Structure 1
Amino acid sequence: MAPAPGKGGETVVELLEDGDACCWAKALTRCIVAQTIYHLIRQTLSYSQSLHTSLHNQNPFFYFFVLRKSSTIPPHTDTMSSSLDQLKASGTVVVSDTGDFAAIAKYKPQDATTNPSLILAASKKPEYAKLIDVAIDYAKGKGGDLDHQVDTALDRLLVEFGKEILAIVPGKVSTEVDARFSFDTKASVDKALHIIELYKDLGIGKERVLIKIASTWEGIKAAEILQRDHGINCNLTLMFSLPQAIGAAEAGAFLISPFVGRILDWFKASTKKEYAKEQDPGVASVKAIFNYYKKFGYKTIVMGASFRNTGEITELAGCDYLTISPNLLEDLLNSNEAVPKKLDGAAAAALDIEKKTYINDEATFRFDFNEDQMAVEKLREGISKFAADAVTLKDILKQKLSA
């Protein structure tokens, strides 16, 4: 049986052993209260027989000490809530960053994001084999040569994962355009339209889908076309700099995903030093983007992404959205550390920030982006990683289509 719960740190047994409950003289004045609590303990709590006998032989006043001092759970306070709940209370919308939809429901996110790397990891789990089978059958039914069937199966697999996720979250799911099209505006637009059509065939409207596109110049222009001409909401991802963010906002992108952890990784490798959460360069990047958007009234949602620890997350409390992996969501759920609001749109309006424009000036965009070595390297690396994982996923599908 579990020890009696209370408001300190020791168990009843520990209290009986060390005998330091409190001053007996002080307790004598609380006899009536102690006796009442004793009876409540006897009626409402379940003790082992040996422990119950030990308590029964004590002076009635002792139960007052036990109630105050004994516990195996954290002290209760009226304001105790998980760090995850506090994060949500700060105004931040929590999004689950995973392709493993079985892990989503526990944390009650509003939306969910996926990418080829997450889908690849999830697809290797036996419980998702049926989704691959659906994609394979669909591709075979559409015909064409093997390479065409592989592309068809991949698109359908991404949408199958999205469909399952949308059965869990009340909001939107982000589905990514093939990273091979990161430098091809027309191909990105065409692929996005095809993905939306696949969702439509499954009875899912475009209002529940965000098309993820890398934040290259070509990707930003693709998002501009999709938003303006087709009413398709876009999530511009692999964002590591303010020029990318400004271009995305001017393009009318529904949402951006500025990365945090990957920026930290680069600076740690470059400077050979560690960073406290308050000085985290990835956190600073998202704050700068958030403040710029709020200062100039852009409606594009800022969704911080790619976190290495909960400290980065809590430093961005108040950001529009944060997309968080299940392991960090679990850490936040199990923590009661205070999460005060750190980002404030109203306060940002008073900041002295220079306004820039890029949407009609490709040359200036490319130059300013190129001046940021970290952003250039991380964008290239991110595109290559997503493309490589997509190729691996295609190889899996090709084997099944060839069987």
Structure 2
Amino acid sequence: MDLSNSIISFIDALGVVQGVLLAILLMIIHIQKNKSLLFLGIFIFLFSLEPIPNILHDLGILNTNPNLELLPVGFHFLAYPFLLIYVEKISIFNNKSLSYWTLIPGVFEFIAATFVFLLPYAKKLEIKDSSFAIIYFFLGLCYSVYIMIIILKRITFHTKEVENQYTFLDKKTLNWCKWFVYTNIIFLGLNFFNFFIDSHVWYAWISVLNVILIYWVSFKGIQQEKIIALIWIDNDTSKEKKLIDAKQEIEQEETSELDLSTSQHIQDFMTKDEAENTFEILDDYVKNSECYKNDTLTIIDIAEAIQIHPKRISYAVNTIKSLNFNNYINSYRVALAKQILKSSKASTLSIEGIGVESGFRSKTTFYNAFKKNVNMTPAQYKNSKD
């Protein structure tokens, strides 16, 4: 075995070992802290095992132990569905049914792969060199990409709903998971091209990316907490709409009904007059109470104060201002920050301090919101002549 094969085998082995250990860690954390990490741990475990056949080949183990040929560790149809279920489990839609149906092809895959593994060595080589193996490889890639497209759609819907319920979005938008999926699509693309060119250099890059992805998803997964829906999300508008008390949900992991309006059957739409009236009540309250200074403000807090169902509040803001709830509240925070930046108070506060005074919980959130609303940074605005 040459040096290049040794290096690639070492990287592959590192990925397998770290992946298995991190997967076990996530499962242990899931048991101890009741976090939604079981499905992520299973995904990492299955994702990490795939390089094993290449390791066995490069190390010459298949020459001395030919019965290990076609070891059933390539979970093309099973791994990514567990990532999808994990995303559903931690997202704002965790009250809905999880996509267990996506596991069905993977279960059949594992049964078939185990059956093939138990066949005589000569028969396994025949299958390995057949067109069926090529078809199986490409179908697995296509199914994985299909599942990742579903994940991206789930995250998009999740982000839209979160922005209509929270004003502090840190660790709630699942952006890390979105970029992880994008990177995995690139990863699968590299595997696709490697199937044709079979280059050691190309595969070395795939191995390095594999190790990085395992560390990335494990680290982010440990940090990520389940996002609680402040409004019961249900596509069936004929059903009763329930609200969830977020604080009780976090502390007790249970939901409760809040009496925020006279009607418990809230439609997803209102007339224009109703929307305008709702927004007027909302806007008056936000201006007079200066509730936007509360950095943890949610739509539930306002709904309780003005006794209007949060679904109606959200719809009114979306319709009248063409903004989500998060951007609407941030517009008031940015307006206050602009006042402070042009006042004598600016000389006694840092830029970050001005953000805190205005209701922003983090420096990054303040900078992003200010730049989005004013088209310049807070420091640039402070030094401008406007």
TM bucket normalised to smaller: under 0.3
TM-score by length of 1: 0.24
- Specify which structure has the higher proportion of strand: 1
- Specify which structure has the higher proportion of helix: 2
Q: Which has the higher contact order (CA 8 A, sep 6+)?
A: 1
**Higher Cα radius of gyration:** 1
TM-score by length of 2: 0.25
